[in-house]
């Protein structure tokens, strides 16, 4: 299993717009139907109003890497440049 905690550090005041754009694009909906996906959920950081946390879990790293090659993932990268200052990723293999 592989879990990534992806923290999107949004530009000031842009978290809601970024989340709305992710929903409109269907990132979560599409990702949860990909082979090997166990979890793909967003969380709002209570103490960091510009941060959005994604927790994604995959049965194996190769399937998560396949996810990174999808058309939706490419569109997500464009949204990140528009709405985010930085992204940090914590990776856990177990």
> Which domains can be identified in the chain, with CATH numbers?
2-93 (3.30.70.100)
State whether the Cα torsion 56-47-88-83 is positive or negative. Answer: positive
Residue 7 and residue 51 in contact, taking contact as beta carbons nearer than 8 Å: yes
Summarised one tens digit per residue, pLDDT across range 4-24 is 999 999 999 999 999 999 999
Across the chain, which distance is largest between two alpha carbons, in Å?
Answer: 36
Summarised one tens digit per residue, pLDDT across range 21-79 is 999 999 999 999 999 999 999 999 899 999 999 999 999 999 999 999 999 999 999 99
Q: Say what the pTM is.
A: 0.94
pLDDT, residue 18, reads 98
Task: Evaluate if residue 94 carries a pLDDT over 90.
Answer: no
């Amino acid at each position: 299993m592989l879990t990534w905690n992806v923290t999107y550090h949004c530009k000031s005041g842009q978290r809601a717009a970024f989340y709305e754009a992710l929903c409109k694009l269907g990132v979560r909906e599409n990702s949860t139907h990909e082979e090997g996906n166990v979890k793909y959920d967003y969380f709002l950081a209570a103490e960091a109003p510009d941060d959005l946390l994604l927790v994604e879990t995959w049965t194996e790293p190769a399937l998560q890497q396949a996810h990174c090659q999808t058309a939706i993932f490419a569109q997500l990268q464009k949204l990140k440049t528009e709405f985010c200052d930085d992204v940090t990723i914590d990776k856990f293999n177990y």
